[in-house]
Amino acid sequence: MSDIEDIEALRAEIRSFLENAEKPTGLRNYGPTPTDADVGPGRAWHKYLAEHDLVCLHWPVEYGGRDASVALQAVFADECARAGVPRQLGITAIDLAGPVLITFGTDAQKAQYLEPIRLGDDVWTQLFSEPGAGSDLAGVRTKAEKTAGGWLVNGQKVWSSAANSARYGLLLARTGPESHRGLSMFIVPMDAAGVTVRPLTQLDGESKFNEVFFDAVELTDDALIGEAGQGWTIAMVTLGRERLTLGSQAVSMFKLHEQMMQAARDRNLLDPVLSRSMTKLWSRMWLLRFTWQRAIEAGDTGSSAFSVLKLMTSETDRALGDMATEVLGTDACVDPGDDSDAAPLVHAMLVGRAQTILGGTSEIQRNILGERVLGLPK
């Protein structure tokens, strides 16, 4: 794909490529996280995109990326959502682990991990949240104790996306008593002795999230990313990058909105009341998109705009899912895994509630905005 300045010409080129692309059997737009069954077709699709220089768009050119503009990233995400295909194998490896390694990793770590990530060989998982420390990462209790040959890890993580199919994990662990300065970041081979992964079954029947247990897991010294005690700083970069992806993930909501409009027409339910509600949601989605573009162009991943974006994306996604009950009526009771036209909307209805929890709860985002931006008391 060439770098074209004209946005519509760029869009037309990407759309034509995706329409004519060879799509592997079983490929679906599974979103940022593949299930175990999605990994095979997802990896094949990722490799196809890599052959055409359409992965790691935001990475520096020296590491196989394109140092792509916001416009190119946004258009590619738009057109992937329209075509019903994922942008990449999974979000954690390319959007989170990759940038962290590029910024904080040693030359040896970059040489070992970046190219397999770019080619889609390795699935990664993010090992941050814990049963007692979800949105409050400063409360992480999983410990990594220094040994003569490296580190010894004990503890538990939860809500770890794709951990059951991941080769490596990005682990935030406690290496000292200080709240923030006592945290460090590690690379964990998920097949290491002492690592146990237990998939969690979601309301929609899928298992994208997992519990992960660490029982005397031995890591070598080169598993540490950056320096000991630098984990909080690295985690903030990781979460900042995660926020950057929100706008591109949100474009799938436009496709879902179109499906809901069509379902309402098919059922003769698109009266003035429902039409107004659908129009409000459509407007909110565009506001989210423009907010994302402004925030990413500013380049400050610590900007409060990302907390606003996370909060409003989650709330809008949930509202869109709730709208399915008004559009479907009794069809909302169908199995989300069947092949009916209602199934995608039922799936959206079921997973919509999770959007205000995963990646940082809406309550936490409101606290951040209230305390850090508006200066309100705790």
Active site residues: 242
Residues 6+ apart with CB under 8 A from 274: 264, 326, 327
- Measured over the CA atoms of residue 85, residue 90, residue 92 and residue 95, the dihedral's sign is negative
Phi-psi group of 145: left, alpha or beta (phi > 0 → left; psi -120 to 50 → alpha; rest → beta): beta
Rg (CA), the chain: 21
Phi-psi group of 155: left, alpha or beta (phi > 0 → left; psi -120 to 50 → alpha; rest → beta): left
Structure tokens at 149: 């040959």
Give the integer Cα–Cα distance in Å for 344 and 324. 10
For residues 353 and 317, is the Cβ–Cβ distance under 8 A?
Answer: no
- Measured over the CA atoms of residue 240, residue 121, residue 253 and residue 286, the dihedral's sign is positive
